[in-house]
Structure 1
Amino acid sequence: MFITSQWVDGNCFVASNATGHTVVMDGSATAGEKRGASPMELLLMGIAGCSSIDVVSIAQKQRQDVVDCKARVEAVRAETVPKVFTEIHIHFTVVGRNLSEEAVGKAVSLSADKYCSASIMLGQAAKVTHSFEVVEA
Structure 2
Amino acid sequence: MKARVKWVEGKTFLGESGSGHAVVMDGAPEAGGRNLGVRPMEMLLLGLGGCSAFDVVLILERSREPVTDCWVELEAERAEADPKVFTRIHMHYVVTGRGLASAKVERAIALSAEKYCSASLMLGKSAEITHDFELRDAAAST
TM-score, length-scaled by structure 2? 0.92
Between the aligned partners of 1:119 and 1:29, the Cα distance in structure 2 is 29
State the partner residue of 2:76.
75
Alignment of 1:99-118 (within 5 A): 99-118=100-119
% identity of equivalent residues: 50
| Alignment partners' CA distance in 1, 2:99 and 2:42 | 34
Q: Which runs of 5+ in 1 are unaligned?
A: none
- What residue is the counterpart of 2:131 in the other structure? 130
Gapped runs of 5+ residues in structure 2? Answer: none
State the distance in 2 between where 1:6 and 1:38 align. 14
Q: Partner letter of residue 99 of structure 1?
A: L
TM-score of the pair, normalised by structure 1: 0.95
Match of 1:13, SS state, is strand
C-alpha distance in structure 1 between counterparts of 2:84 and 2:19, whole Å: 31
Q: Could you tell me which residue of structure 1 aligns to residue 37 of structure 2? A: 36
Q: What's the offset of the Cα at 1:33? A: 2.1
Structure 1 runs (4+) greater than 2 angstroms displaced:
none
Query: Secondary structure of the equivalent of 2:8?
Result: strand
Root mean square deviation, CA, Å: 1.2
Q: 2:90: which partner in 1?
A: 89
- Kept in 1, the 8 Å contact 2:11–2:34? The answer is no
Q: Are 1:61 and 2:54 an aligned pair?
A: no
